[in-house]
Chain A
Amino acid sequence: MTTPSRLPDPYGQGSGANLADILERVLDKGIVIAGDIRINLLDIELLTIKLRLIVASVDKAKEMGIDWWEDDPALSTKARRDELSRENAELRERLARLEQLEPARAEEERS
């Protein structure tokens, strides 16, 4: 019994609509009219920024199982530190091996 103008059933709306979808529209979009009650628009923008900052909270993200940056040296100082010390160890080992092969030259360079 569909008429051409019938809309499909809503997807993800009503109770299921995620808060970000709704806030994004009712706060950020829509027509801006200065009413008699002046809420500085900056306030809303600040608020949006504040809300966006929540994502910067590492603990919150971890709670949600988002932790891919943990192992990414470009993003995590801890991973970078771990990696540096491992690389250091590797390099020291190789240096030691080279020195064993060429003790004389190594001596020379050290002086």
Chain B
Amino acid sequence: MTGLRYVYAVCHPFGTPLQAQLTGVAGDPPRLLHHHGLVAVVSHVPERDFAEEPLRRHLEDLDWLTATARAHQGVIDALTVVTTPLPLRLGTVFRDDSGVRVMIEEREDAFRRTLDRLQGRVEWGVKVYAGAEPADGADSEAPPEKAASGRDYLRQRRMRVRSNEDMWQRAETFATRLHETLSEFAEDSRLHAPQNPTLSGASGRNVLNAAYLVPRSVSEEFVELVDRTKDDVPGMRVELTGPWAAYSFAGEEENR
């Protein structure tokens, strides 16, 4: 076998076959490498793209990165349907199968611990956007009428600033309350940095970007819980994504 080995995830062995047409990064179907009672999900990838030098160059290329990230996520997604995968970070590459086996041997205890902890759980992403449309009456109903005096002008300006502050204040209160409610329901949660609107293509400012670890069995209830909050406050938009593999919770316990 030629080429390098790209590893997507490590799982407990699972009985259900992956969907037949699934292709991973570089167009190669994901294969299962059994070792020491664990399974590494790998693709064969060419050296010309995944050796150190080309890989480093590719990572700077947003188009290549996008395609590779989507392919990586596609495999993880397919695994999430049939098992609970431990997703590895994009770009984990070994020379050959024996390199992958050695990696499994070195880390098998940690893998088992984490797999047991995450078994049967998925991750849901919840984001809140504020100010997507003019949320505030004060902004829209008071077009900048010509200030009659300096004092009027300053008063108008103060009102504008204050209505903006009100909006952020409301956004923060809303996001905090939502996060509390969802954290209580979920087994675990993580707060992520707000998203880059250029990448997400979303309007409004991302004021909450959180991930929640939820057992599959109560995922529908979690989704309903999120749905119920959606229209609570005007000007706030709640966005739910998932179910994801438990990416945000796959790290070792020390960073909890």
- Which residue numbers of A lie inside 8 Å of B, CB to CB? 2, 4-8, 10-14, 17-33, 35-40, 43-44, 47, 51-52, 54-55, 57, 60-61, 64-66, 68, 71-74, 83, 86-87, 90-91, 93-94
Contact = CB atoms under 8 A, between A and B. Distances in A.
Contacts of A66: 197, 203
A42 B157 CA distance: 45
A25 B87 CA distance: 9
B22 interface: no
Interface string B33-71: 000000000000000001110011001101001100110
B174 interface: no
Interface string B1-35: 00010010010000000000000000000000000
A78 B197 CA distance: 23
Interface string B217-256: 1011001000000000000000111111001101100000
B142 interface: no
A83 B161 CA distance: 14
Given A11-B223, A94-B150, A31 B87 contact: yes
B77 interface: yes
- CB-CB nearest 10 A-B residue pairs: A90-B150, A20-B199, A20-B200, A37-B93, A29-B247, A25-B247, A26-B90, A12-B241, A30-B89, A30-B87
Nearest to A29: B247
A7 B216 contact: yes
A26 B160 contact: no
Contacts of B239: 12
Contacts of B177: none
B140 interface: no
Nearest to B200: A20
Contacts of A4: 217
15 contacts: A5-B216, A7-B216, A13-B77, A20-B196, A26-B87, A32-B88, A33-B88, A33-B92, A37-B55, A37-B91, A37-B95, A43-B56, A51-B62, A55-B197, A66-B203
Contacts, number: 181
Interface residues of B, number: 71
A73 to B, nearest CB: 8
Given A18-B201, A31-B251, A25 B244 contact: yes
Nearest to B10: A31
Contact of A36 (B69, B87, B95, B223): B95
A35 B150 contact: no
Contacts of B95: 36-37
Nearest to B222: A8
B90 A90 contact: no
Contact of A19 (B90, B199, B250): B199
Given A27-B89, A37-B4, 14 more contacts: A8-B243, A10-B243, A11-B223, A11-B240, A18-B201, A19-B66, A20-B200, A22-B73, A26-B90, A36-B95, A40-B56, A51-B196, A54-B198, A90-B150
B150 A93 contact: yes
Interface string B123-151: 00100000100000000000000000110
B248 A29 contact: yes
Contacts of A60: 198
